[in-house]
């Protein structure tokens, strides 16, 4: 982690910036099918935000800390944004109206950024609350997309819903698996060094 912050500033911006630029160039292709839109574009935008947060370093979390105790508002924002763009009607307006499409990009990048900045402050209990709720919401949405008898989106055919639903359900499983792996790894590490088994330490006190 510490080596990352020794990158020059341009390199820290270039990572997420290059990803965003690639997504912007590919966006007609990505939004051509529902599966690519939901399965690739939306998660990649969150990833770009997460990377930006990671490269920004702990200063960002410190700056947000007075308004973001235990990462609660940040994680709530990320959960709401994630749920919002699973609504078929929201996906439609994002494709049909460029202004909403821009808001989609901004909200998902912000969600990734806040997710990253809130993650360590949240601690395992609050993380579990958000991850498990997000998992069930996303898995449910994925299953509904696969099973829905009617056309859900105006801009995508009903046939595409099966693939989009599979992609969404797969992300739910991947997200849960990643978090469980993170929990197991932390548990093993705290077994190895008992002083780390204490509850998550608060962030260094910021202003306020």
Partner 1 sequence: MARGWRTGVATLTVAVLALCAFAGVTHGFAAVTSDGVRRAALAGTPRALPPIGLVDAAGRAFSLADYGQPSQPATFVALVYVRCQTICLTTAAGQSWLQGEIQARGLGDRVRLLTLSFDPASDTPAVLADHARRLGADPALWRFATVRDGADLKPMLDLFDVVVLPDGLGGYAHNGALFLVGEDGRLSRAYDIDRPDVALADYLRRAGLL
Instruction: Read off the tokens for 10.
Output: 């341009």
Nearer to partner 1, 102 or 190 (CB): 102
Nearest to residue 125, comparing CAs of 179, 181, 82, 59?
179
Rounded Cα gap, residues 62 and 171, in angstroms:
30
Nearer to partner 1, 17 or 101 (CB): 101
- Least separation in angstroms between CB 15 and partner 1: 27
Rounded Cα gap, residues 66 and 15, in angstroms:
28
Rounded Cα gap, residues 105 and 57, in angstroms:
22
Nearer to partner 1, 55 or 77 (CB): 77
- Least separation in angstroms between CB 124 and partner 1: 19
Nearer to partner 1, 86 or 131 (CB): 86
- Least separation in angstroms between CB 206 and partner 1: 8
Residues that bind partner 1 (CB under 8 A): 65-70, 72-73, 76-77, 80, 84, 87-90, 92-93, 96, 150-157, 208
Q: Which long-range contacts (CB under 8 A, 24 or more apart) does 1-4 make?
A: 4/54, 4/55, 4/57
- Least separation in angstroms between CB 65 and partner 1: 7
């Amino acid at each position: 982690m510490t080596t990352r912050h020794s990158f020059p500033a341009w390199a820290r911006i270039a990572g997420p910036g290059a990803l965003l630029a690639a997504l912007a160039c590919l966006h007609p292709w990505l939004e051509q099918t529902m599966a690519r839109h939901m399965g690739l574009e939306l998660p990649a935008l969150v990833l770009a935000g997460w990377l930006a947060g990671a490269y920004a370093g702990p200063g960002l979390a410190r700056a947000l800390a007075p308004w973001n105790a235990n990462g609660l508002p940040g994680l709530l924002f990320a959960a709401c944004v994630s749920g919002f763009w699973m609504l078929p009607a929201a996906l439609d307006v994002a494709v049909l109206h460029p202004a909403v499409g821009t808001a989609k990009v901004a909200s998902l990048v912000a969600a990734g950024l806040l997710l990253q900045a809130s993650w360590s402050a949240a601690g395992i209990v609050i993380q579990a609350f958000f991850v498990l709720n997000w998992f069930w919401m996303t898995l449910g949405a994925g299953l509904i997309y696969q099973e829905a008898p009617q056309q859900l989106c105006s801009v995508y055919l009903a046939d595409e819903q099966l693939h989009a639903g599979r992609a969404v359900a797969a992300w739910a499983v991947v997200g849960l698996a990643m978090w469980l792996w993170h929990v197991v790894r932390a548990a093993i590490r705290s077994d190895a060094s008992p002083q780390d088994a204490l509850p998550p330490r608060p962030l260094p006190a910021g202003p306020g």
